[in-house]
Amino acid sequence: MVRNSSLLALLCGGTLLAGCKDDVEDSAVSGAWRPDIVCPGDAGCESLGDGVLYAGAAALPITPTCYETWDDLNSNGEYERSEESFLDCGCDRLCEGDEGYPGADDGEEDGEFQAIYIAGFGTNRPVSGVHDDLWSRTVAMRQGDVTIAIVSVDLIGVFFNEVETIRQAAADAGIDVDHILLSSTHNHEGPDTLGQWGRQLGESGYNAEYMAYVRAQIVASVGQSVDGLTPATLAVAEANISTYDSEKGSRNVVYDHRDPKIIDPLVKTAWLTDAAGDTIATVVNFGNHPEALGSANTLVTSDYVDATRRGIEDGVSYPDGEIPGVGGVCVYVSAAVGGMMSPLRVDVTDGTGETYSDASFEKSDALGNVMAELVLGSLESAEVAESPTLGLRARTFQLPIDNIAFQAAFLLDMFSRPVYGVDTADLSFDDDNIPQLLTEVDLIDLGPIRMLSIPGELMPELALGGYDASEGQPFTVLETLIDDDNPNPPDLSAAPEGPYLFDRMGAQYNWIIGLGNDEVGYIMPAYNYKLHESTPYLQEPDGDHYEETNSLGPQTTPLIEEAVIELLEWSP
């Protein structure tokens, strides 16, 4: 999820079948369990009609506009009040005497720092400006009565209650969509939309006005996508990141910071084109934290995802030539980013032969260009899906918050979402009063692609296994399954055997949509879930166990797996 152990210390001291309506009604009459949403099948999304697939796409900015700026004199990404000052110019950041000054606006010269705080590393990292826009990017698909919108936002995460509000706002606006799946890229260089990274430890960084703007832009992007629906052809492609640099393999793009080092090397793409062969959208799926800029950056950016999308849409330019883009709208959705999948400690070599190591925009662009090259290369041999069908199942369920640091954060009103199953008036949580979160998993079938949304940061091994090189893990000379110097290595003899999630999903192309409709933190295998003996969740035990401090607790993975398996096994 994030690296913020100081906060923790403070806070504690198969495919869907068309024409299945009769079976759905039978299950409802018999009282048998069924998903909360079944399309085709539910009222309003009964059938796939004549089977023609329609698609539309849109991209709208969600870049913050109202904030005051500052100068980071020591370039450490932290606002030090004794040494650094903010510009008290109000929401528009224009003071008297500046070109274009329209007059005083709200907050100008009031002595209060109207800051937007950046999420993902530590607290007290205010935005100082904008390098590139953040986006709400949407692809809508329709077949018969079934309309589904997949939205990706360049944010650290969005809680499920916000998703429910967005869905209701879309319905109130009269947008003809049956379901919205919202995924966050998990960008570590954008505003705090969860509440964990404010001015100081224990103080929320959530900005209600900014989130209202984000919600409105998401709804508008969904509306524009639905309005632009047109008959579409679907093609599917995959690229293996380990093939770009034969010496470094996957380490040219991503590094797994936790043993066992297991990476899903596939960049997966759905390519939707119109009757003229022009691109409507490319939907790109890969697992890697957008944090190539590191913790000292204070400029808003969508990190390497920006260059990835630009390269796919507009092409990748190098001094010795250009790789043409395919146009349309690129929608980048994160896959399994847990583990932790990250460009930190990665030396990126791009198409120029130059290598970039330090956190910088140059490294971010190089990584994005490499990703774009891989996708564009894979599209040259993309497989056209004949008569693809569209379908959806979704279900909600609850997860307990066992993490005492997260419990404290809720009691401090840092997290802007409701909890269930507890007496909130008690102002304390214990074994008899454990708060629960409501969350969701979705299963979307798009021809040969099956997409499974997971409400957080899944470890790739839960999806693909990979505990043995024979299972296809692309090991290189730079990677070993377990570091020799790990003082507390995982016991692989206790690792679960298959079937893993991809096995259970059973499609030709299986996708994990990470941070889907929620962000509940890291989701890791039970055999390798370890807590500090005396101060669980507040300190890490020896070895690679940071992720436990940013997880809900040991019940999270089995409960999510249970919900997913039940969803996968349900068949009208």
Annotated domain spans of the chain? 5-53+132-190+202-569
Q: In the prediction, which pLDDT does 16 show?
A: 35
The pLDDT assigned to 319 comes to: 94
Place of tokens 């102002």: 427
Nearest C-alpha neighbor of 141 from the set 14, 270, 239, 266: 270
What's the CA gap between 531 and 403, in Å, rounded?
Answer: 10
Strands of the sheet containing 146-153, edge to edge, are 179-184, 146-153, 135-143, 54-61, 230-231
Determine the 3-state secondary structure of 457 from DSSP: strand
Sort residue 130 into left (φ over 0), alpha (ψ -120 to 50) or beta: beta
Among the residues of 416-490, which ranges form H helices?
Answer: 460-464
Q: What angle do CA 247, 250, 255 make, to 5 degrees?
A: 120
Distance of CA 398 to the CA centre of its chain: 20
**Enclosing H/E stretch for 523:** strand 522-523
List, in sequence order, every beta strand (DSSP E) within 216-302: 230-231, 233-240, 255-256, 266-273, 279-286, 299-300
Token pair for 384: 């056209």
Comparing CA positions, the residue from 411, 444, 572 lying closest to residue 517 is 444
> Mean pLDDT for each 10-residue chunk of the chain (572 residues)?
41 37 43 90 95 98 97 93 93 94 94 96 96 98 98 98 98 98 98 97 95 98 98 98 93 95 96 98 98 97 98 97 97 96 97 97 98 98 97 98 93 92 73 90 98 98 85 61 92 94 96 98 96 94 93 98 96 62
Strands in 383-384's sheet, in edge-to-edge order, are 329-334, 279-286, 266-273, 233-240, 383-384
pLDDT of residue 469: 60
Closest CA to 46 of 82, 21, 10, 68: 21
**Residue (of 379, 394, 308) closest to 348 by Cα position:** 308
DSSP lists the bridge partners of residue 151 as: 138, 182
How many helices (DSSP H) and strands (DSSP E) are in the chain? 11, 25
Produce one character per residue of 494-517: b if its CB has 16 or more CB atoms within 10 Å, e if not: ebeeeebbbebbebebbbbbbbbb
Q: How many CB atoms lie within 10 A of CB 352?
A: 11
Residue keyed to tokens 């916000």: 162
Q: Which two tokens stand for residue 75?
A: 């370039």
| Whole-number Å distance between alpha carbons of 469 and 465 | 10
Give me the pLDDT at residue 571, please.
65
User: Tokens in use for 399?
Assistant: 């997860």
400 upstream amide cis, omega within 30 of 0: no
